[in-house]
Amino acid sequence: MNAPPPKTVPLPPRHPHQGVLGHLQQFWHRVTEGLELSELWKQFRTDARASYRFYQKDFQARAPQESQKRGFWRTAQAFAWAILEKLTPARRVLLLLGVVLVLFPAGGYSHRTEEGHVEFVEFDLRFLGGASLFILLTLEIADRVVMKRDLEIARDIQSWLLPASPPQIPGLTMAFATRPANTVAGDYYDVFARPGLRGEPLFLFAVADVAGKSIPAALLMATFQAGLKTLSSTPCSLAGLVAGLNRYASSNSQDGRRFTTAFLAEFDPLIRVLTYINAGHNTPILRRNSGAIERLTNGGLPFGIMADAPYESGSVTLEAGDWLVIFTDGVVEALNAKGEEYEESRLFNVLQNGITATPEELLRRLMADLDFFVGTTPQHDDVTCMLIKVG
């Protein structure tokens, strides 16, 4: 598979007589990709906060009780080790050498010439220190570029596992969207037809959230998708499908540490009955046309915790004007700058104010409201939402 082409930044037009100033403007535009200083500062703050949380998590994991008792220098030392240990031993030496030569560059020695004069020879090693740091930066950038390319390929592959557009289901209209916290995600959603026990076509709705984020969660998400598609290809009840998925997940969950929450439902368009099982997932919202709110709670444990866990199915009859909202915890647990969560109450308000809209319009409103609430706070979890309206 070929890697994606490098990003190109259009350069601003330059008058032929601008000379050095024009070249500097072009260089600066290429470096910043046309971003304003305020946007660059906002990006730097976001990166700095993310890096701080990354190293702080490692620091607190070492000594959670001592982390609050340490003085400034001990804390700084612990953070320095947290950074150093992310490098290979050779690169640690290169980093320390560069820092020492930059901080203590001057030196010298004296010697006596043949004529009996004493000469003092001075030297400045800042160039060597800067060169060491530059070499280290080049090596780290090379690793980052390779990893980024691989992640972009993984993201493209993961996008193939998710539906590009909703299928045509009699009596229903729907919309769905997902936003990964990192390049790849552990959230999964799908809607597809499968054969029923009596040969009638049924439609399966699935929304799942693998514990964790990034590559480990994405790999488990892919195995969950493969297991779901394989088990769904043969006629069986929803309970049988869920039991098989749980056994499959338990064999790949590292003794329950990598569990998966999921909401699975089958819809029969002939009688408009939705049969569902909630495996430890956020409780979906069923808003009736009358305004009444129901929660779809029947189910059991998340997949992967207990291989023989029992699951209780539930069923509801959908009527014209009903709304069904299925989401992952990344929606209601999204944080703003004050550390406040988005919460279900705000999701309820968006739903109540948009019941006359189409699922696509309501989904846009929901994502816009989520963006407004979060502001510039970095996204800490994958966000997935599926909206279904009964016609």
The pLDDT tens digits for 232-257 are: 988 889 999 999 999 989 887 777 67
Are 157 and 233 within one domain? no
Instruction: Please check whether residue 44 lies inside any domain of the structure.
Output: no
What's the pTM? Answer: 0.73
Cα distance between residue 253 and residue 245, in whole Å:
12
Q: Residue 330 — pLDDT band, cuts 50, 70, 90?
A: very high
Are 153 and 123 within one domain? yes
Are 256 and 130 within one domain? no
Which residue, of 161, 178, 198, is where some domain finishes?
A: 161
Q: What is the DSSP string of 113-166?
A: -TTS-EEEEEEE-HHHHHHHHHHHHHHHHHHHHHHHHHHHHHHHHHHHHS-SS-
Are 329 and 345 within one domain? yes
**Over 60: is that where the pLDDT of 151 sits?**
yes
Top-confidence residue, 3 or 319: 319
**Contact (CB, 8 A) for 353 and 150:** no
For CA atoms 154, 155, 156, 162, give the dihedral sign: positive
Which residue, of 161, 179, 208, is where some domain finishes?
A: 161
Return the minimum-mean-pLDDT range out of 62-66, 147-151, 186-190: 62-66
Instruction: Please check whether residue 182 lies inside any domain of the structure.
Output: yes
CATH number, domain of 337, equals 3.60.40.10
Cα distance between residue 137 and residue 83, in whole Å:
14
Top-confidence residue, 165 or 86: 165
Which residue, of 161, 177, 209, is where some domain finishes?
A: 161
Top-confidence residue, 28 or 346: 346
Return the minimum-mean-pLDDT range out of 26-30, 205-209, 232-236: 26-30
Instruction: Please check whether residue 25 lies inside any domain of the structure.
Output: no
Top-confidence residue, 341 or 13: 341
Are 187 and 288 within one domain? yes
Label residue 290 exposed, middle or buried (CB < 10 Å: 0-12, 13-18, 19+): exposed
Are 94 and 208 within one domain? no
CA distances from 231 to 39, 204, 225, 242, 251 (A): 48, 12, 10, 9, 15
**Over 70: is that where the pLDDT of 326 sits?**
yes
Q: What is the DSSP string of 33-44?
A: TT--HHHHHHHH
Share of the chain above pLDDT 70, in %: 86
* pLDDT value at residue 189: 95
**Over 80: is that where the pLDDT of 331 sits?**
yes
* pLDDT value at residue 1: 42
Q: How many domains does the chain have?
A: 2
Count of CA atoms in the C-beta half-sphere (13 A) of 167: 15
Q: What is the mean pLDDT of the chain?
A: 85
Instruction: Please check whether residue 29 lies inside any domain of the structure.
Output: no
Cα distance between residue 43 and residue 172, in whole Å:
41
Instruction: Please check whether residue 240 lies inside any domain of the structure.
Output: yes
CA distances from 291 to 247, 276, 294, 296, 352 (A): 39, 21, 10, 16, 8
pLDDT digits (tens, 9 = 90+) for 77-125: 777 777 788 888 888 888 888 888 888 877 666 666 666 666 666 667 7
List residues bridging with 202 in a β-sheet. Answer: 194
Are 272 and 153 within one domain? no
Are 180 and 212 within one domain? yes
Angle, CA 206 vertex, CA 173 and CA 178 arms, to 5°: 75
* pLDDT value at residue 348: 93
- Over residues 31-39, the mean pLDDT reads 83
**Over 80: is that where the pLDDT of 130 sits?**
yes
Are 374 and 227 within one domain? yes
**Over 60: is that where the pLDDT of 338 sits?**
yes
Are 232 and 184 within one domain? yes
Q: Residue 3 — pLDDT band, cuts 50, 70, 90?
A: very low
Label residue 257 exposed, middle or buried (CB < 10 Å: 0-12, 13-18, 19+): exposed
- CA–chain centroid gap for 221, Å, is 13
Q: Residue 301 — pLDDT band, cuts 50, 70, 90?
A: very high
Instruction: Please check whether residue 349 lies inside any domain of the structure.
Output: yes
Domain residue limits at 112: 87-161
Are 283 and 342 within one domain? yes
For CA atoms 376, 377, 380, 386, give the dihedral sign: negative
Strand 299-300 relative to strand 273-279, pairing: parallel
Are 227 and 334 within one domain? yes
| Token pair of 203 as six digits | 């439609």
Instruction: Please check whether residue 6 lies inside any domain of the structure.
Output: no
* pLDDT value at residue 19: 75
* pLDDT value at residue 370: 96
**Contact (CB, 8 A) for 122 and 105:** no
Top-confidence residue, 34 or 370: 370
Top-confidence residue, 6 or 325: 325
- Over residues 30-40, the mean pLDDT reads 83
Instruction: Please check whether residue 193 lies inside any domain of the structure.
Output: yes
- Over residues 22-46, the mean pLDDT reads 82
* pLDDT value at residue 2: 45
Q: Residue 60 — pLDDT band, cuts 50, 70, 90?
A: low
